[in-house]
């Protein structure tokens, strides 16, 4: 079954292309569904394909020199990922895991340079995405190095809320499954500390959490918690 050109129309990497060009790109693509928790590619493995997330959310995980795994960012629908070629790399710089059931298109990496040369706006938008992503990773690493644990956890919850938040009667729910263990991986702290903070914030009416679901009930209070004290 041929993929419909409306899948890519308006998405930044392809927004300047006409239907015929988008049709050519889609004819090169493979579509695949990933269950929650599935690994799409692993850090250090040969970068054989690059991807576009159509639906769902992804976690991007980096391994530190001492073997610790850190969730450095999340990827939302409509974004390219696995674009190792843009970094002049032959291997993936991080691991991508489906944070929720997800659907992605992928293309052979050998097509990257021809797309950059052939399609107007593809390179500009791709490198803009890359720059934003590197900025997010730098922010995460800076927070881990300079902020207190409470600030880091609050900042991570705010980022996920801003990226994927869905309004509910209770507040703003993070749009993909997230566990306390995930949060500890994102903030470089212990599961015990994350549990203690979330329990305290629940008592204060700032968040509500259940298995794999977090609702921010008082975003302003959470924003204040994310700021340096003093």
List pLDDT tens digits, range 101-122: 999 999 999 999 999 999 988 8
Could you tell me the residue range of the domain that residue 67 belongs to?
Answer: 5-144
Q: Do residue 184 and residue 127 come from a single domain?
A: no
Domain harbouring 212, CATH code:
1.10.10.10
Q: Do residue 127 and residue 183 come from a single domain?
A: no
Q: Do residue 155 and residue 69 come from a single domain?
A: no
The reported pLDDT for the residue numbered 54 is 93
Q: Do residue 205 and residue 137 come from a single domain?
A: no
Q: Do residue 173 and residue 137 come from a single domain?
A: no
pTM of the predicted protein model: 0.82
Q: Kindly tell me if the per-residue pLDDT of 230 is higher than 60.
A: no
Cβ neighbours for 75, distance < 8 A, ≥ 6 positions apart:
53, 57, 58, 60, 81, 96
The reported pLDDT for the residue numbered 183 is 93
Q: Do residue 107 and residue 188 come from a single domain?
A: no
Q: Do residue 19 and residue 66 come from a single domain?
A: yes
List pLDDT tens digits, range 7-21: 888 888 888 888 999
Sort strands 207-210 and 213-216 into parallel, antiparallel or unpaired.
Answer: antiparallel
Query: How many structural domains compose the chain?
Result: 2
Last residue of a domain, one of 144, 173, 195: 144
Angle between helix axes 122-146 and 180-187 (nearest 10 degrees) is: 90
């Amino acid at each position: 079954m041929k993929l419909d050109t409306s899948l890519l129309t308006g998405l930044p990497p392809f927004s300047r292309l006409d239907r015929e060009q988008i049709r050519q790109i889609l004819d090169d693509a493979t579509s695949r569904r990933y269950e929650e928790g599935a690994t799409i590619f692993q850090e250090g493995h040969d970068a054989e394909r690059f991807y576009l997330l159509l639906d769902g959310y992804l976690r991007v995980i980096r391994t530190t020199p001492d073997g610790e795994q850190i969730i450095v960012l999340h990827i939302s629908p409509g974004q390219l990922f696995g674009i190792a070629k843009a970094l002049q790399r032959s291997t993936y710089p991080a691991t991508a895991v489906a944070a929720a059931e997800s659907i992605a298109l992928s293309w052979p990496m050998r097509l990257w340079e021809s797309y950059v040369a052939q399609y107007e706006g593809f390179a500009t938008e791709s490198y803009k995405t890359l720059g934003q992503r590197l900025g997010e990773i730098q922010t995460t690493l800076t927070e881990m190095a300079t902020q207190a644990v409470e600030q880091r956890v609050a900042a991570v919850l705010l980022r996920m809320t801003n990226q994927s938040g869905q309004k509910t009667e209770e507040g703003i729910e993070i749009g993909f499954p997230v566990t306390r263990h995930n949060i500890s991986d994102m903030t470089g702290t212990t599961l015990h500390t994350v549990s203690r903070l979330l329990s305290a914030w629940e008592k204060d009416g700032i968040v509500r959490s259940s298995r794999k679901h977090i609702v921010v009930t008082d975003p302003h209070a959470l924003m204040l918690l994310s700021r340096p004290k003093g």
